[in-house]
Amino acid sequence: MPDPDQAALVAVRLPPTSAQPAIRACWDAGEAVLVLDPSAPPAEVDHLLDRLRPTALLDASGRRELPGGEPVDAGVAAVVVTSGTTGEPKGVELTRAGLVASGVAYSQALGAGPGDRWLCCLPLHHVAGLGIVARSWSTGTPVTVHDRFDPVAVAAAPDTASTTIVSLVPTTLRRLLHHDAAAASRYRRIVVGGAPTPTDLRERAGAAGAVLVDAYGLSETWGGCVLDGSPLPHVEARLAAGGEILLRGPMVMRGYRLDPEGTAAVLDPDGWLHTGDLGVRDPDGRLRVVDRRREIVVTGGVNVSPTEVEGVLAGHPRVADVAVAGAPDPDWGERVVAYVVPSDPAAPPALAELRAFAADRLSAPKLPRQVVLVDEVPRSGGGRPSAGCSPRPRRPAPEPAGVPDRHRRRRFRPSPRPRPGGPPSRPGTSGAGRRRGRPPRRCRLRGAGRCTAG
């Protein structure tokens, strides 16, 4: 007899248009879902299944039970995969109560009514996409789901599908405006999250007549829970010592699946989620995020763990050592940069070669978009790449034979300007980085050669 206090956890690996009705059916049946990236390589999927232990898998071949699966608490609606600095994926357990609270509060904040329809063009294996389906399921507001972001389809959707609200990340907003700026004004609201919206992009959208709503949140909060600097109803936000943003409310996760230590590191006994993000209060009392979580690279709204990428690239036969970090990018917000010490300086690996090598084990957003050759990767006593790195030119020296200018070698050196006190801990970490005063793991490219993917 099934335990009434538990529910099945169904891993769903289908394209978004097929996944959406499957997700709704699971929720209707009282089951929880673990939505997987349908384009992820098999090795990545197998690793997630092994680590998060769903009870069943639903894919193109149908539904089947999985051996060794563990049910979730009956109050859990979804497990969302997120990555911490360990490189190991974490499963965020999000509750049904949080789903309903988020749906109702979002609708109130956006003034959503009977004439509205959501457009979901974000991946459902990310909380931003899944949250749209959840809000539709909990409030009855209809939703149109696209398998991917296509600026042509998004621009046409208000006419072809009567959509009025869409969620985008800065990268996709920029592409929509580039394709058809006037189309942005045909949406009653455009919710933008996943990364800060650059000022120039905000001004361009405003000039086109678009009404933007800034959303701040995490995988651990059912996505956005602060809109335009104001917490949603029943959400509390405060600033701790050092300016760290703390959040509390029904949208906050139950915990990390099968990871009580990771949960205790970020969720205190009073229910406050320690985000690791830094914020300030504007004069009007609105919350403004001034810095993102450290180390994680946010590219096109997707969180990428440098450690995970490093672990794959290090297996290339022509890579002696490697470190991965983010660099500012006008289109993606950040791009994934691999700092590589070549095994043979005369024959360094090219960007295309490294991307092809990693494609079987990493999803597309995790693949490097730039390679910088360096002489060394300084490491801490624990063997981790030093934080706050800045590749800098060395004294001019003869280049090794066969190395083109764009692959000139640099030294990968720690930044001399760490943030006082180091960064706060964040979801997915133990907090040890803060205690050691580790500065942000961001790289500023100073004179370094580059090779960028198209």
What average pLDDT is seen over the chain? Answer: 84
Q: Encoding tokens for residue 103?
A: 């749906």
pLDDT at 404 over 60: no
pLDDT, residue 194, reads: 80
Report which of 298, 359, 361 is spatially closest to residue 45, judged by C-alpha positions: 361
Q: Which CATH number fits domain 297-435: 2.30.29.30, 3.30.460.80, 3.30.300.30, 3.40.630.30?
A: 3.30.300.30
Cα–Cα nearest to 10, from 76, 84, 83:
76
Structure tokens at 378: 């300084």
The residue length of the chain stands at 454
Whole-number CA gyration radius for the chain = 22
What percent of the chain shows pLDDT beyond 70?
Answer: 81
Specify the CATH architecture of the domain 6-291: 3-Layer(aba) Sandwich (3.40)
Residue of 198, 209, 270, 283 whose CA lies nearest to 240: 270
Q: What is the pTM of this model?
A: 0.73
- DSSP state string for 213-280: EEEEEEGGGTEEEEETTEEPTT-EEEE-GGGEEEEESTTS-SEETT-HHHHHHHB-TTS-EEEEEEEE
Task: Please say whether the beta carbons of 168 and 192 come within 8 A.
Answer: yes
Residue-wise pLDDT for 59-83, tens only, equals: 999 999 999 999 999 999 999 998 6
Residue 371 scores a pLDDT above 90: yes
- Residues 454, 304 contacting (CB under 8 angstroms): no
Give the other-Cβ count within 10 Å of 352's Cβ: 12
- For residue 243, what pLDDT is reported? 85
pLDDT in tens, 92-108: 999 999 999 999 999 99
Angle at CA of residue 234, ends 232 and 236, nearest 5°: 80
Positive or negative, the Cα torsion across 162, 132, 238, 328?
A: negative
Judged against a pLDDT cut of 60, whether residue 90 lies above it is answered with yes
Q: List the chain domain ranges.
A: 6-291, 297-435
Phi and psi (nearest 5°) for 383? 90, 5
326-365 pLDDT, tens digit each: 999 998 999 999 999 999 999 999 999 999 999 999 999 9
Taking only the tens place, the pLDDT of each residue in 23-32 is 999 999 999 9
What is the C-alpha to C-alpha distance for residues 59 and 75, in angstroms, rounded to an integer? Answer: 24
228 vs 86: which has the higher pLDDT: 228
Q: Report the pLDDT averaged over residues 263-279.
A: 93
Element (H, E) at 193: none
- Phi, psi of 198, deg, nearest 5: -60, 150
* pLDDT surpasses 60 at 11: yes
